Amino acid sequence: MRPGNPEDLGFLREMLYEASGHSDISDPAISLYLEGWGRPGDAAVVALDPESGRRIGAAWYRLMTPERPGYGFVDASTPEIAMGVVPDRRGRGVGGALLPAIMDAARAEGFDAVSLSVRRNNTAAVRLYEKNGFVRVAEIGFAHPSWAMRAELSRTGEREQARSLELKKLDGRVAVCRLDPASGVPGWATGSGLFSVTRTPDELSVVCPEENVPAGVKHEGGWRVLRLEGPFPFSAVGVLASVAAPLAEAGVSIFALSTYDTDYVLVREEVLDHAASVLRERGHEVL
Could you tell me which residue, 122 or 144, shows the higher pLDDT? 122
Predicted confidence (pLDDT) at residue 64 exceeds the cutoff of 70: yes
With cut-offs at 50, 70 and 90, classify the pLDDT of residue 105. very high
Provide mean pLDDT across the span 115-142: 87
pLDDT in tens, 211-243: 999 999 999 999 999 999 988 887 777 789 889
Least confident of 180-184, 214-218, 278-282: 278-282
**pTM for this one?**
0.56
Cα-trace Rg, the chain = 20
pLDDT in tens, 31-56: 999 999 999 999 999 999 988 999 99
* 194 neighbors 152 (Cβ within 8 angstroms): no
pLDDT in tens, 241-270: 889 988 998 899 999 999 999 999 999 999
Domains of the chain: 2-160 (3.40.630.30), 166-286 (3.30.2130.10)
pLDDT in tens, 111-127: 999 999 999 888 888 88
